[in-house]
Amino acid sequence: MTTSAQPHLPGRLGDPARTLKNDPRTDPRLVAALARFGLDEAAPPGPVTGGSPLGEILEFCADAEIGFQGIFDTFFADLPEIKNVNSRTEVIKGVDGNDINLYIHKPTDASGPLPCVYHIHGGGMAILEATGSQYTRWRDELAALGMVVVGVEFRNAAGKLGNHPFPAGLNDCMSGLQWTFENKAALGISKIVVSGESGGGNLTLAVGLKVKKDGKLEQIDGVYAMCPYISNAWASKSQELPSLYECDGYFLNTIGMGAMAAAYDPGHENDRNPLCWPLFAETRDLQGLPPHVISVNQLDPLRDEGLKFYQMLGSAGVSVYSRTVNGTSHVGDMCYPKVLPEAFAATIRDIKGFADSL
């Protein structure tokens, strides 16, 4: 990928020194909000790469988890209470014999079966927890629109819930989905939409591939993946995915994403396994899948891998649509409810509308 200035091209393709702060496409409210953390400028490379010793990568991920959660807590503080939602925790056994917490949110005035969002949180499959302020609020917001929401606390590859590389997290997501499907009647569920963002977008798409492989497609009715982290191409910056260079350093940088990928699959035994990295799915893996939505952020290094997966789904005959949330960086329509309230609310409504359409 060339690094010479070409002003007619967007982002860092046009100017290698461009950042979120001086990219004219960025919503100025987002710039102001991220400036307090220095994230309006280029995200500095971390101390490790995907080729660093595993111990150093795990230490980096643990530190990143603390930093990111602190940022998200700031943006979710002092929001008005959502009063018409009840929540509880169900503890189940996973296929590997481990306990899995499922966080179940439901509107208090529910009558009759409701669509369910089975939510898988982000964090590169390596960090963060379903109990984080941003995910608890997300489940409440979805439930308040008239859905049952089940959030799965899967084992991470690093951080507080690590260190459990692939396929531990996917196994936990599949176990939680199995329980949710088997308890549809008790939960008051009419249909199940699997949804998640970033690393949760990876696991969301992987769940769709896995239920097909296992002959259990009846367990899901739709898939809604947001800014999915699926290419495993962050070191090479493939020219087929120009956003990896165009938006590198816009909240995320490719070096850090490559390090988290190494935590998820330390032995690189699954570099082209679509259950680990769904962008390697072939047409036969995709054919017959239920309807999908692929939502991406305009100023996200991961944008083009999501759009490529959208194209792959369409070519395989899957019912699919995509949306690009303009002016936003990675997870920008989910993680800034007070800063970008219109984008936050629109994505919530879109998930509900998709579920109702199935």
pLDDT at 191: 98
179, 93 contact by CB (below 8 A)? no
Q: What span, in angstroms and rounded, lies between the C-alpha atoms of 294 and 351?
A: 11
pLDDT grade, residue 36 (50/70/90)? very high
| Pairing verdict, β 189-197 and 114-120 | parallel
Which whole number is the average pLDDT over 206-231? 98
Residue 7: pLDDT above 80? no
Residue 45: pLDDT above 90? no
Which sequence spans correspond to the domains of the chain? 27-357
Name the residue among 82, 124, 126, 134 with its Cα closest to residue 106: 82
pLDDT at 110: 85
**50-73 as b/e, with b when 16 or more CB fall inside 10 Å?**
bebeeeebbebbbebbeebbebbe
pLDDT in tens, 276-287: 999 999 999 999
pLDDT at 84: 95
DSSP 222: E
Q: In the structure encoding, which two tokens stand for residue 279, read together?
A: 């962008």
Q: What span, in angstroms and rounded, lies between the C-alpha atoms of 100 and 332?
A: 28
- Burial label for 121, CB within 10 Å (0-12, 13-18, 19+), is buried
pLDDT in tens, 248-277: 999 999 999 999 999 999 999 999 999 999
pLDDT grade, residue 235 (50/70/90)? confident
Tell me how far apart the 2 most distant CA atoms of the chain are, in Å.
Answer: 60
pLDDT in tens, 133-164: 999 999 999 999 999 999 999 999 999 999 99
DSSP 26: S
Which whole number is the average pLDDT over 50-71? 96
Q: What span, in angstroms and rounded, lies between the C-alpha atoms of 135 and 76?
A: 10
Q: In the structure encoding, which two tokens stand for residue 21, read together?
A: 């702060």
- Burial label for 235, CB within 10 Å (0-12, 13-18, 19+), is middle
- Indicate the residue type of 163: N
Which whole number is the average pLDDT over 42-58? 90
Q: In the structure encoding, which two tokens stand for residue 211, read together?
A: 């239920």
Which whole number is the average pLDDT over 307-331? 98
pLDDT at 5: 61
Continuous segment of H or E residues that includes residue 10: none
Q: What span, in angstroms and rounded, lies between the C-alpha atoms of 293 and 346?
A: 14
Question: If you average pLDDT over every residue of the chain, what do you get?
Answer: 96
Q: What span, in angstroms and rounded, lies between the C-alpha atoms of 137 and 78?
A: 11
Residue 3: pLDDT above 80? no
Which whole number is the average pLDDT over 24-52? 92
Q: Whole-model pTM?
A: 0.97
Q: What span, in angstroms and rounded, lies between the C-alpha atoms of 319 and 300?
A: 25
pLDDT at 21: 96
Q: In the structure encoding, which two tokens stand for residue 38, read together?
A: 């220095």
DSSP string for residues in 196-218: EETHHHHHHHHHHHHHHHTT-GG
Q: What span, in angstroms and rounded, lies between the C-alpha atoms of 318 and 225?
A: 14
Which whole number is the average pLDDT over 40-66? 92
Q: In the structure encoding, which two tokens stand for residue 117, read together?
A: 């969002």
Per DSSP, the chain holds a count of helices (H) and strands (E) of 12, 8
- Kindly report which listed range (7-11, 173-177, 331-335) carries the lowest average pLDDT score: 7-11
pLDDT at 2: 45
- Cβ-proximal residues to 167 (8 Å cutoff; 6+ apart), any chain: 275, 276
pLDDT in tens, 84-127: 999 999 999 999 999 999 999 999 998 889 999 999 999 999 99
DSSP string for residues in 66-107: HHHHHHHHHHHTTPPP--SEEEEEEEEE-TTS-EEEEEEEEE
Provide the CATH topology of domain 27-357: Rossmann fold (3.40.50)
Residue 232: pLDDT above 70? yes
